[in-house]
Amino acid sequence: MEAAALMDLELNPGIWLALFFAPILASFPIAFIWPRRQDSFARKLPILSVFGLFISFLITLFILFRVEEGRYVYPWLPSIGINFVFVADYLSKYMGALTGFIAFTIGVYGLEYMKEDYRLGWYWFFFNLFTASMLLVVYSDNLFMLLIGWEGLGIASWGLIGHWFRDDDELSYVGVMDRKVGPLKMFWSPSTGGWRAISTIRVGDMPMFLAVAAIFALTGTLDISQIHWGELFEKIGTAGTVILFLAFLMGPFTKSAQLPFSEWLMTAMTGPTTVSALLHSATMVAAGTYLFMRISWYIKPWEIHLPGVEIVYTLVLFLGLVSSLYGASVALASRERKVLLAASTMSSLGLMFASASASYWLGEFAVIVAFWYLITHAFAKATLFLVAGHIIHETHDRFLGGDREVFSKMKLTAIVTLFATVTLAGIPPLTAYWVKSAMDEVMEKLVHDVGILPFVLLVTISAIYSAFLAKFFALNFWKGRHVHLHLHGGGVMKTAYTAMVSMLLVLLAVIYLGIDHAGEEFIHAGMAEVSFMVGILVLVAYVVGFAKPEHENAVGRVLYDRVYVMALNDYIVPKIGWAIAWIVDIFNRLLDFIAHTFIPALFEALSMSVRVVQSGSLERYTKIVVSLVLGILFVVSVAGWF
């Protein structure tokens, strides 16, 4: 488990090629055939795409159980230190298997959920590209290769979030149609959601790219596990460390929707539910937190006692907690199924950042806690999104709603939702309780170095988190408004999210049986008095959230409108952008005037002057020369006199 130095080992490169290219190549038949024919034959081709996902999943299992921990290097541009370098370590092995399983299971779900879609070729190509890109991010040790996968995630997210680009179905929107608050529109279409996602992410990607270039210039290598991070930070000093590290982290911050870059994640719910499930569990947003964990795993900040590193990790700690509190509060006030889950994802991502950042003071265990919370959250959140998609499919309604009739007619769906929510909430003795107990222990130990605020924030977030999960269950299956059900099919979808939620039981068994060494430490943390008290608080919050899932007040309305953070995306930033564009336009006009009007006119005037001089008359030339000589003599005389 320890982040020790990795040996360079050998593995057939065909395995890596199959891992990354099987999903993409398997999506080609539907991608090429669909634009030409949309008949029954073409609608059967998505099964090939899912088969490609299955191949990748099997390879991730092979890497998890049969591949030795180490680096696998394949020459590419060795003269400048850029090679194909894959890493199999504690983090990448588990994360790869997680990504492979979730992508395959959601793919199976999508066979039924997307079967009548009008854009199947587009959907399956980008869905499989999304998965392959995330796997490249997971296993890449070389930052240049990682950036290729990182960019693939961005492009695929744009294609999938804006999949229903026609903007002709109210079910695919986010917000209340035609609602406005001042100059702000409070509803967003799929095309807007896709643009928001990629434009916001690009804000963080650019400084991240520059930081990677700086790392290469300063160290001569881009391999994460081979960079001497301590020496690098000592070399560039405190200010350099803060600037370089924060520039690099801008990519993870925007990808994982931390404040103030959170709004794109809410409007990303305009995409198909399968996309939301994949994006919020094992890809895209998870990529940001995973990369921070990977970097911390090899930086070993607990061994580097430098002011710059401490500043960055302190900032990440509080940014994560504040983002988590904000996301949990927004989820508690939300009225849309998928937006509630999106806000809850933001909250969970904040906790992952906060826990991983605690590694500066507490060591490697804090990263492991954050990573296990990522895994637990991924299975639970994927389950809840798939459930939400099924409910939307059966009710033709994206807002929270459902009474006991829904529970009676969709019993399996309701039971799966109940189990996923109580597990993710951290109610003892279920899976997330043990992981969250370890997180409680981490924040409690920070009291000596940072103060009590992180622990207080974590407990507060845990209570709110439990309450909105209870709200999600109550308003969809028990105490919500009456909805009309249109039950038809759903067998494949039920199978998929039942398989997904069952993985929470597998994780619970791993913890209880001590299959992974971390499980023993989680059990020890869960037995602590403080953790048990927090667990009881979470249980009470769940009961209260179930008993009173709706509570209207002014604060709730502001939180429902996400504190108008969308003004940054829809009003403030565009205004700034147009102002910059106006300034640039003025500058361009000035350059155009100088280059195409002023300079040509100046040369024309000079040319005319020369033509006047060039008359061909010797007498005229003599007068000019004599005048110049007399002028020079006069200037010299005056200068000599002074």
Distance (Å, whole) CA 342 – CA 347: 9
Report the alpha-carbon distance of residue 30 to residue 424 in Å, rounded.
36
CA-based nearest residue to 104, from 42, 22, 197, 16: 22
Angstrom distance (rounded) from CA 340 to CA 14: 42
The pLDDT-based confidence of 490 (bands split at 50, 70, 90) is confident
Write out pLDDT tens, residues 69-127.
Answer: 999 999 887 777 678 999 999 999 999 999 999 999 999 999 999 999 999 999 999 99
* Per-residue pLDDT tens digits for 385-428: 999 999 999 999 999 999 999 999 999 999 999 999 999 999 99
Q: How confident is the model at residue 483 (pLDDT cuts 50, 70, 90)?
A: very high
Element (H, E) at 562: none
> Hunting for tokens 């006069």 — which residue is that?
634
Q: What percent of the chain has pLDDT over 90?
A: 76
**Residues 550, 552, 558, 560, Cα dihedral to 10°:** 30
Q: Is 314 left (phi over 0), alpha (psi -120 to 50) or beta?
A: alpha
Range 121-150 average pLDDT: 95
pLDDT level of residue 1 (50, 70, 90 thresholds) = low
- Residue 334 pLDDT > 70: yes
Average pLDDT over all residues of the chain: 92
Q: What is the pLDDT of residue 367?
A: 97
Domains of the chain: which residue ranges? 8-564, 577-641
Q: Mean pLDDT throughout 31-51?
A: 94
- The pLDDT of residue 129 is 96
What is the band of 185 on the pLDDT scale with cuts at 50, 70, 90? confident
Q: What is the mean pLDDT of residues 521-532?
A: 95
Whole-model pTM?
Answer: 0.90
616 band by pLDDT with thresholds 50, 70 and 90: low
pLDDT for 81 equals 67
3-state per-residue secondary structure call for 499-551: HHHHHHHHHHHHHHHCCCHHHHHHHHHHCCHHHHHHHHHHHHHHHHHHHCCCC
Q: Is the pLDDT confidence value at 2 over 60?
A: no
What pLDDT is recorded for position 366?
97
Is pLDDT above 60 for 3? no
Helix (H, G, I), strand (E, B) or coil at 163: coil
Q: Is the pLDDT of residue 603 over 90?
A: no
Provide the pLDDT for residue 5: 65
- Checking if the pLDDT of 469 tops 90, the result is yes
Average pLDDT over residues 224-249: 95
What pLDDT sits at residue 75?
87
Short-list 262, 314, 306, 309, CA closest to 288: 262
Spatial distance between the Cα atoms of 205 and 130, rounded to a whole number of angstroms: 17
Sheet holding 82-88, edge to edge: 8-9, 70-77, 82-88
- For residue 639, pLDDT over 80 is answered with no
Q: What is the pLDDT of residue 64?
A: 96
pLDDT for 641: 65
The pLDDT of residue 236: 95
67-81, 217-231, 430-444, 480-494: range with lowest mean pLDDT: 67-81
Q: Three-class SS of residue 6? A: coil
> According to the model, what pLDDT value does residue 571 have?
75
Residue 266 has phi, psi (to 5 degrees) of: -70, -45
**Bridge partners, residue 86, by sequence:** 72, 140
Q: Which pair of tokens denotes residue 610?
A: 């020369």
